[in-house]
Structures are given as structure tokens and as C-alpha cells.
Chains A and B, each alone.
Chain A
Amino acid sequence: MLSRTADHLYWMSRYIERAESLARMVDAHHRMSLLPHSPDELAGSLQATMKALHMIEAYAGRHARIEPQSVFQFVSLDREYSGSIFSCLRSARENARAVRGSLTSELWETLNSTWLDARSQAARRSVDIGEFVEWVKERSHLTRGVTIGTMMRDEAFHFTRIGTFLERADSTARILTAHQSDLMPGADAGGVPDPFQWSVLLRALSAFEVYRRVYRDVITPLRVAELLILRDDMPRSLLRCCKEVYGNVRSVANQQSAETVRRAGEMHAMLHFARMEELLSLGLPRFLSQFLAKLNDLGSRIAADFLGSQTEA
């Protein structure tokens, strides 16, 4: 397929995934804002999350203080901020439109009507943030379902999936980064772990119910980290995402991509055979920043090998 087409498909799915991740993040904090917590705690969590997502600077350019309602509004619906959910939905749709001939008509219509709806919702005077992010998640589920249910299992599908899982791995790693201090051994040494932070973290990664089912026990930092990093059966864990990236990159391998495939495989193998104790002895912050750097490198390599303007040779 055309390199440009693959590039648009890759970014289309990255943007949809990013919109969903942001919606989950807003949703988790929004729920908490409705419960009786200390405002500092909520603002602190939002601050850490926005920092991990590199949003602080853009936010500070528009709002003086970190207040939950303005953060929710900014992340969800800010038309000018290119990282908002609204902008992600627009970018997903623009990428889809550029290659609509390579999409199934159902997938195109889903992305197109998502954008049209988002636009009319954003035009309303007041938007219920809880409803909006719930709607974003539903549209993302629908997009994913239509992708899996209607697309041929060809290159177009693989590049779409590479975009999805690279973005998801990135998002999980960043949310973990925002909460890394709570995940360090001894964070719960004082006795009762902080239920607020845990539930935000787990809910933002759709892992709250999973955690209970898997461990049937109180929440401990070690298990949370294990669930979100090393569990193969956890859809948003780093291992799961790397496994999917590796499998899909292998399926599209070309003559110049050997090193890229190897590095994707290495990232997967490293997580596959890792033990939690090792990661903790390395230090979670160090592990996460190394992981994000490798992921970034992999993304650039995929762009160069498959998506970019190739040399004519």
C-alpha cells in the first residue's frame, strides 16, 4: 500500500486511541471530583497527570490555576489546543478523510459522524463533561469494533493496529509516570494505601474491576504495577501493548525494516521475561522513562521504514 496511506491510517488510529485515553483520564478525575476529597489532592493528581502528558505549558497559557473544571474543559473541548480530545477527534477524522478510499465505508462513517457530533456538542453553551467523556469512550469502542469487524486483515489493518498500541503503551506509561511515587515500595508503609490515588490510576486505565477480579485482595503498589506493566492478559498493560505492536510490525516487515522489527521484539521480550522485583530495583521512574524513550525510538523507526517519504532506491 502507499506509504502515505499507511501514515494516515497509523495517525488516524493513534488519535482515536489518544482521545479515549484522555477521556478515561478526565473521567477518573471527574468521578473523584464528585466525591468528598480534599481539593488539593485532586489538583495534585491533575497536576501530575498533565505534567506526564506534557500539557502544563499549554494549559498555563490559558488558565491561571489548576482547577478541576477548567482542566476538564481544557483537556476535553479546547478547540485551539491541539492535544485536546476535541482536536484529536478532528485529527482522526482528517486523517481518515485523506484515505477514506482505504477504509471500509462503515469505518469512515463512524469517524465522520463522531467528528460531526463532537462539533455540535462543542458548540453548545454548556457541556456535561461526564457525559461527554462517556460518549468519547463509546465512540472509541465503536470505532475499534468497526475496525476489527469490517477491515481486511491486510497491511492497512496492521498499520491501524500499530498506531493503536503504540499510543496505548505511551498513554499507560505516562499515567504510571504521573503516579510513580505512589507505586514505589514503601509507599504504603505508613499503613493504609491512598485509595484515592489508586482508584484514579486504575480507573484511568480501565483496570479497577480487573484488579479486584485478579487479586481479590487489598490494593498494593506492587500488584498495581505488576498488573499494568507485566500482565499479558491486561489489555492496557505495557506488555500487552508491546506484544501487539511486535506482532503487527512483523506482519508488515519489508526489506529495510529488520532492525525495527528486532527492537519491537526486544521490547516485548524484555517485558515478557521481566520480574517485578527487577523493575523495582531499577527504580520505577527510571524504568518508565527508559521505556518511553524506547517507545519513541520505535515510533520514529516505523515512520522512517514504512510511512515516510522513502528514497527512490
Chain B
Amino acid sequence: MRGGIPYYIIQDLRLSVAGLSRALMANPPYNEMFSREGAGRAHYLRYSQWLGDQPAERLAQKRAEADALFHRVGITFAVYGQEEGSERLIPFDIVPRVLPREEWIQLESGLKQRVRALNSFIHDIYHDQQILKAGIIPTEQVLCNSQYRPEMQGVDVPGGIYAHIAGIDIVRDDAGEFKVLEDNLRVPSGVSYMLENRKMMMRLFPELFSAHRVAPVDHYPDVLLDNLRSVAPTGVADPTVVLLTAGAHNSAYFEHAFLAQQMGIELVEGQDLFVRDEAVFMRTTQGPQRVDVIYRRIDDDFMDPLVFRPDSMLGVPGLLTAYRAGHITIANAIGTGVADDKSIYPYVPEMIRFYLGQSPIIGNVHTWMLRNRDDREYVLAHLPELVVKEVHGAGGYGMLIGPAAPQTEIDRFRQLIIAAPERYIAQPTLALSTCPTFAAAGLAPRHIDLRPFVLSGREVSIVPGGLTRVALREGSLVVNSSQGGGTKDTWVLET
């Protein structure tokens, strides 16, 4: 999974760091299962009763069974640079994250609204740029962004859809409010874990599913395929869809293979495709076969060595020519990164107002843009309380978690911000909601987030649920976004 868990899902061990502990004590996190007074939340009642009835040995045995099954099925991510055939499991926690129906309805409409606005924004940026002309977003912040692709200017894509698959990271703050933490509009991953976690839960605890009305998720591949076919180039009656992967050594390869198999489409690598007369073909045992839609799981930079990185072996030479001629659909489109960049994120609520004339249903995490003088002054005065992120940084690099950082680190960031304020944003340290989770010593609260997957094509749709990621303790005091992330099954209750 790109980026792993968000860096400021703080592991519990981190609570021993005095500053952070104080910060969290001032705003204790929202617990998904229990209210502040310790009463069970209504939608978890039946589950927590059931859990209380389970002998510890049974749960331990089920956890071991889950591990063995995940290994056998090969639901793993490749670990780079180790012996061939060695892959790691993403830890799976058997306590589900449960969302009541009314919360999901609100989330669903908020997510659809947000993704509609994001698609309108990308279309606008690559066409008339009205939002820039209206002065809502500073022009240079978009056009000088490294994720802006001038090659896409004036290119029409089917239905005007760019982010066909969006993974929106949602967190719940200490007041119990949902907030968007991040939009992932390039190649969001993790949906296979949503599907496999559900399969695993149904296998381990079938009785829970007869006692609860859990909205199904296993039709996601059908919806995805339908969505991809609906955005084929005009005039193609029966489009051929393929999934483009970087290959078996890519960390998300399991997911690529899984989705291709579930959709019944070919899993191709760059070497399997070629471009002739501005059309894309794949090499098959029966000769070349025309391809209409590419669900790509590699980044823009690697797509076409003739246009982007010339050293890329993963892409297809000439692909952009075919794309610009409208003979192939690429999902997600080239250039969507311009809308999920951290420097653009603060403007998404404005986009919703600008393009849809609506007020946002789900808000952003409050963000200070350090290029603005007022914001900068506030942040510099409150650094020990805040989280500072580098605008173009990714994967947990170049950031400051104020409450947990030593004074020297805070001083270093102060200098960095003063030197180049436009390169940074700041956010409050969030007390992310927690959910009971199996830790070494037994059940304990652990911080979680949620990544639902929003599909846009003929219409916008979301399979009820998503991937719940949980910060598990890894026996180390070092918190790193790529360490210790686990997953849970996510239940949306129908009643």
C-alpha cells in the first residue's frame, strides 16, 4: 500500500512520550465501540456481547488460522531485495470496524460529492482553468506543480472522468466527526484487502454474519469492470479492458493479479503491449489483439518512455500518442496527481462550492498554508503542538510531529519553514479514533482510519465499506508509517 498508514496514527507506545501524552489527554480519542462514559455504542452491542462470550483459546486459534490461510492464499506484499518467494503478510485483526447505517449514508454522500468536484477540477485544469481565473486557487500553485501534466492540456477523455478509482482516506476526530485526511487519485490500492478481509471473517466467524446484517462488498470487481467498460473510447461496442502492472516484484502485485482474475481480464505488463497506428495492442498467442481500456497500476512517470521517464521499462512507448488521439482510455487518467497533492488539498472544500454549488458534507482536517503570512505566524508560534508536512513529500518523509519531536527537530523545522514557507503545510495533531484490537497482551484500543473506494464512470458509486487500517504495535518505539500497519474488516450495517 502506498505510504502505509498515515504517519500520525500514533501507536500507543508513543503515549510514553510525555508531550504527546499530554496532547492526547487534552483531547482523548473517540472510541468506535464505547462512549466516553464506557457504555457500548448501539451498533456494536451485539458484537461486543458475542465477543464477551468467546473463550480466549478460540479467538487465539482463529487468529492463527487466519494467518495460515493468508499465507497459503498468498495474500502478501512482496518485500524488495529479499530471496525470491519471500513475502510478508499485512497483519489482520479479527475485531471488525463497524459503521452504523446512518453514518455510512452521510459518508457516502460526502464522498460522492467530493470525488465529483475533484473530477470537475481536473477537467477544468486541463481545459478552461476557470477556477484559476476566478482566483480561487493561485495559478502558480497548479501550473508549477510537478504533478501537473502539460501533455494533457486540451485532451478530452471519455465522460470527462479522470479519477475513475479514488481512495479517500477518512479519519474520525476526538469529537467523533469524520474528516478527509487525504485524497488518493493516482493508483490507490488496498481494495483487495477489503475483499479478502471480508472473506476471511465469513470463514472464521460465520455465526456473526447470521446475527448481523452486514452490507456485502464482494461485488466490487463487477462494479469496477462495469465502470471501466463505461469509459471506453466512443464507438467501441465491446471494449477489451486490461490491468497494467509493474510485475510480480511490485509490492501490490497480489492486488493486481487478484483484481484482474476477479474481473476476468488480462493482467499485462508493459512488454505485453505495443502501439501501432495510434492504437494499443497486446501480444497474444493468436497474434495482436486490440486494447480499449487500460486500468493501470503504475505511476504516470513510467507510462510512456517517449514522453515521461525515458529509462522506464514498465511502460509502453507511444502510449500517449494513442491516448491523445482518443483511441485508448487510461484509468486513472494521466495527470490526476494535480488534484491530490498536499498543496491542493486545502482547496477541495472550495472546489465543491465552485463546481457543485454545494457546501461540503465531509470537511477537511484544518490546514494552515504556510505561504500565507497569518497562518505562518500562528504555526511558528505553536510548532510543538502541530504536525508539519512537506507539500511534495510522500511516505512519511520530511515531516514534523510537534508533540513527539525533540526541541532540536522543532528548531530545524522552524528554519526550514522560514526559508521556504510555500513548501510546507501544518495541521493539528489528531487524536484519531480507536477501535478494540488484539495486541500482544490482549484486547486494547488502537488507532484506525478508513479508505473507501469511490468509482466514477457513467455514475459515481461506492461499495459500502472500505479498508480499515489499524496501527498495531510492533515492539519498537520507532514509529514509521511503513511499520506496524494492520487491517480490519469493515462492516456497514444495513439495519
Contact = CB atoms under 8 A, between A and B. Distances in A.
Given A90-B84, A99-B267, A100-B257, A2 B73 contact: no
Given A6-B285, A101-B258, A309-B283, A109 B72 contact: yes
A94 B248 contact: yes
A38 interface: no
B287 A255 contact: yes
A119 B85 contact: yes
B286 A100 contact: no
Interface in B214-267: 247-248, 253, 256-258, 260-261, 266-267
Nearest to B87: A97
B248 A98 contact: yes
Interface stretch (B25-33, B270-278, B352-360): B270-278
Contact of B271 (A101, A115, A155, A309): A309
B84 A3 contact: no
Nearest to B260: A101
B495 interface: no
A105 B73 contact: yes
A200 to B, nearest CB: 33
A105 B73 CA distance: 8
A252 B286 CA distance: 8
B432 interface: no
B172 to A, nearest CB: 35
Nearest to B243: A101
A312 interface: yes
A258 to B, nearest CB: 14
Nearest to A252: B285
A1 interface: yes
A101 B258 CA distance: 6
B74 A306 contact: no
Interface in A97-129: 97-102, 105, 108-109, 112-113, 115-116, 119
A254 interface: yes
Contacts of B248: 94, 97-98
A69 interface: no
B16 to A, nearest CB: 38
B368 to A, nearest CB: 45
B257 A93 contact: no
A2 B268 CA distance: 8
Contacts of B274: 312
Interface in A134-193: 155, 159
Contacts of A5: 266-267
Chain B contact-residue range equals 20 to 34
Contacts of A115: 85
A239 B272 CA distance: 35
B288 interface: yes
Contact of B272 (A4, A116, A159, A254): A4
A2 B287 contact: no
Given A112-B74, A116-B72, A2 B84 contact: no
A119 B85 CA distance: 10
Contact of A93 (B72, B85, B260, B272): B85
Nearest to A93: B85
B129 to A, nearest CB: 39
Nearest to A115: B85
A4 B72 contact: no
Contacts, number: 80
B94 interface: no
B282 interface: yes
B284 interface: yes
Contacts of B282: 2
Nearest to B245: A101
A265 to B, nearest CB: 19
Interface in A8-65: none
**A5, A97, A306, A309 interface centre (most CB from chain B within 10 Å):** A97
A239 to B, nearest CB: 27
B71 interface: yes
Contacts of B93: none
A90 B83 CA distance: 11
Nearest to A90: B85
Contacts of B85: 90, 93-94, 97, 115, 119
Contact of A2 (B247, B261, B266): B266
A95 to B, nearest CB: 10
Nearest to B253: A97
Interface in B81-106: 84-85
Nearest to A111: B74
B287 A101 contact: no
Interface in B276-317: 276, 281-288
B71 A116 contact: yes
Given A94-B248, A97-B248, A3 B284 contact: yes
B258 A112 contact: no
A3 B256 CA distance: 18
Contacts of A119: 85
Interface in B39-83: 71-74
B72 A112 contact: yes
B84 A254 contact: no
A101 B84 contact: no
B105 to A, nearest CB: 34
Contacts of A93: 85
B449 interface: no
B283 A310 contact: yes
B249 to A, nearest CB: 10
Nearest to A307: B285
Given A109-B74, A155-B285, A254-B287, A101 B257 contact: yes
Contacts of A99: 257, 267
Contacts of A6: 285
B269 interface: yes
Interface string A210-228: 0000000000000000000
A211 to B, nearest CB: 39
B288 A312 contact: yes
A5 B73 CA distance: 20
B283 A3 contact: yes
A24 to B, nearest CB: 25
Given A112-B72, A312-B276, 9 more contacts: A2-B268, A90-B84, A90-B85, A99-B257, A101-B256, A155-B285, A255-B287, A310-B283, A312-B274
24 contacts: A1-B284, A1-B285, A2-B268, A2-B284, A2-B285, A3-B272, A4-B283, A6-B285, A93-B85, A94-B84, A102-B261, A102-B267, A109-B73, A109-B74, A112-B73, A113-B72, A116-B71, A254-B285, A254-B287, A255-B287, A310-B283, A310-B287, A310-B288, A312-B276
Interface of B: 71-74, 84-85, 247-248, 253, 256-258, 260-261, 266-269, 271-272, 274, 276, 281-288
In the A-B complex, the 3 residue pairs with the smallest Cβ-Cβ separation, listed nearest first, are A101-B261, A101-B260, A101-B257
Interface of A: 1-6, 90, 93-94, 97-102, 105, 108-109, 112-113, 115-116, 119, 155, 159, 252, 254-255, 306-307, 309-310, 312
